[in-house]
Amino acid sequence: MRKIHDIRIQEVTPLASPDELKRQETVSEKTLLGISRWRDQIEDIIHRRDTRILGIVGPCSIHDEQGAYDYARRMKDLAEEVQDEILLVMRAYFEKPRTVLGWRGLILDPHLDGSNAIEEGIRLARRILLGISEIGLPVGTEMLDPILPQYIDDLVSWAAIGARTAESQVHRSLASGLSTPVGFKNSTSGNLKHAVNAIKSAASPASFIGVDPNGMTAIYRTTGNPSCHLILRGGSSGPNYHEDDVEHAENLLTQAGALASIIVDCSHGNSNKKYVRQQRVLRSVVDQLNFGNRSISGFMLESYLYEGRQDVCSDKPLTYGVSITDPCIGWDDTELIIRRAYERLKQGEEGLL
């Protein structure tokens, strides 16, 4: 009899259930309480009940465990220094959406060689998320694969839905059930309406098919997520972080009956993909806040230990602390521009007294 299913599947490998993986690495009560507290603080900032802003800062993508911890320890010291104005959240992205081809992130390819040791990647991602949380930092990540949140979302304090997936009903339904605030990015063209519609959709109850903690297929019914917000990341039409752009975004959100809370991504289209320009974008964000803007709730920076990026080559080792995806600003510049932002926010606050 002719085979008519799985004709293009080369291999099927069983994957441990979310509960199995979680049982292998115990999360302390102290860490769980910390994550719960960070989520509450982030939610208060998103809703502007807390007048501080979020700073979601870190590598374009995590590819090295020790580099992630090294970065987190440095960031922890800076976070304590600026915490009365900026709540720093470490960016820890493990999945990379691709327009065509390329490395798809630590979870899918932890050895960076196309071997796709996915279960090992999930274990490594959990270990890194736990390690960063134990250092004392909230963690933010992009949710791309709809199954993976069951494996890692207990260690995440903020989540993003990317520019390529904001239109996806699967991801809108997923966001409606996540236990964290979720930011939706505008599309790669710069269009805002898809993200605004996504925010409205994710705030409503939804039903979708997923995997439960035991690895069984299940139907999830959600209550809706009231803490979804917009991320302005620019696009092929140009940057969208200027005052008029932010006002336009705020009006679209208000007209749609969505939460008028905006995070500005200082990278991607807003920096014209020139990483050194991120400080220019952040300077504009701080100016807008100091002139009374109350819809901007945070910013994002792509930053790592050392500036720039590198290619993965089989014939030479990687340079430690340098991104293998988008180019990043280095740690010295990161400290400098965040401290400057902090000082100017303080000055602006004092000027209003």
Distances (CA, A) of 46 to 114, 118, 158, 282: 38, 33, 11, 18
The predicted pLDDT at position 349 comes to 61
pTM for this one?
Answer: 0.95
In the chain, where the domains are located: 29-352
Q: Give the pLDDT of residue 9.
A: 87
For residue 1, the model assigns a pLDDT of 75
Pair 235, 190: CB distance under 8 Å = yes
Mean per-residue pLDDT for 222-235?
A: 98
Does residue 25 or residue 166 have the better pLDDT? 166
Query: How many CA atoms lie less than 13 Å away from 238 in the CB half-sphere?
Result: 3
CATH 3.20.20.70 is held by the domain 29-352 = yes
Closest C-alpha to 165, from 147, 135, 187: 187
In this predicted structure, the answer to whether residue 332 has a pLDDT above a threshold of 90 is yes
Q: Which amino acid is at 29?
A: E
Q: What are phi and psi of 265, to 5 degrees?
A: -80, 115
In whole angstroms, give the CA distance from residue 182 to residue 263.
Answer: 11
194-227 tens-digit pLDDT: 999 999 999 999 999 999 999 999 999 999 999 9
Helix (H, G, I), strand (E, B) or coil at 341: helix
pLDDT tens sequence across 92-107: 999 987 665 678 899 9
Using CB atoms within 10 A of its CB, is residue 4 exposed (0-12), middle (13-18) or buried (19+)? exposed
pLDDT mean over 223-238: 97
Cα radius of gyration rounded to whole Å, the chain: 20
> Cα–Cα distance between 94 and 88 in angstroms, integer?
19
pLDDT 10s digits, 110-154: 999 999 999 999 999 999 999 999 999 999 999 999 999 999 999
Instruction: Give 3's pLDDT tier (boundaries 50, 70, 90).
Output: confident
Question: Residue 302 phi/psi, 5° resolution?
Answer: -95, 115
Helices (H), the chain: 18-24, 29-46, 65-82, 118-135, 149-152, 169-177, 193-202, 243-255, 278-290, 331-352
Tell how strand 158-161 and strand 139-142 pair up: parallel
Instruction: Give the Cα-Cα-Cα angle 161, 164, 167 (nearest 5 degrees).
Output: 75
pLDDT category, 10, cuts 50, 70, 90?
confident
pLDDT reported for residue 353: 37
The reported pLDDT for the residue numbered 352 is 44
